[in-house]
Amino acid sequence: MKHFRPDPSRTQIGLAYGPPALACLDALPDALDYLEIPFEQLRHTPEAGDVQQRIPLILHCASVSVAGTVPPSAQTFDAIAATAARLRTPWIGEHLAYVSAEGLDDEGDAIAPSALTYTVCPQLSEASVARVIDNYAAARARLGATPLLLENAPQYFEVPGSTMPMSAYIAEVLAHCDAGLLLDLTHFLITCVNTGVDPGRELKRLPLARVVEVHISGMSTQSGVAWDDHAVPAPPEVFDLLRRVLDEVRPQALTLEYNWSGAFPQAILQQQLLRTRALLEAA
Binding mask 181-210 for Fe ion (x = CB under 5 A): ---x--------------------------
Smallest distance, Å, CB 56 to Fe ion?
19
Smallest distance, Å, CB 94 to Fe ion?
11
Smallest distance, Å, CB 229 to Fe ion?
12
Under the binding rule (CB under 5 A), the answer on residue 36 touching Fe ion is no
Determine the interface stretch with Fe ion among 41-49, 156-164, 166-174, 211-219 (rule: CB under 5 A).
211-219
d(CA 56, CA 54): 7
Smallest distance, Å, CB 186 to Fe ion?
7
Smallest distance, Å, CB 60 to Fe ion?
8
DSSP string, the chain: -------TTS-EEEEESSHHHHHHHHH-GGG-SEEEEEHHHHHH-GGGGGGGGTS-EEEEE--S-TTSSSPPPHHHHHHHHHHHHHHT-S-EEEEESEEEEEEE-TTS-EEEEEEEEEEEPPP-SHHHHHHHHHHHHHHHHHHTTS-EEEEEPP-SSPPTT--S-HHHHHHHHHHHS-PEEEEEHHHHHHHHHHHT--HHHHHHTS-GGGEEEEEE-EEEEETTEEEEETTSPPPHHHHHHHHHHHHH---SEEEE---S-TT--HHHHHHHHHHHHHHHHH-
Determine the interface stretch with Fe ion among 118-126, 134-142, 212-220, 239-247 (rule: CB under 5 A).
212-220
Under the binding rule (CB under 5 A), the answer on residue 215 touching Fe ion is yes
Q: Return the number of the residue (160 or 253) whose C-beta is nearest Fe ion.
A: 253
Smallest distance, Å, CB 202 to Fe ion?
17
Determine the interface stretch with Fe ion among 76-84, 114-122, 177-185, 245-253 (rule: CB under 5 A).
177-185
Q: Return the number of the residue (71 or 93) whose C-beta is nearest Fe ion.
A: 93
Total of chain residues touching Fe ion, rule CB under 5 A: 2
Under the binding rule (CB under 5 A), the answer on residue 60 touching Fe ion is no
The residues, ordered by sequence, that sit 6+ positions from 123 with a Cβ below 8 Å of its Cβ are 159, 160, 161, 162
Residue nearest to Fe ion (CB): 215
Determine the interface stretch with Fe ion among 21-29, 178-186, 206-214, 236-244 (rule: CB under 5 A).
178-186
Which residues of this protein are in contact with Fe ion, per CB under 5 A? 184, 215
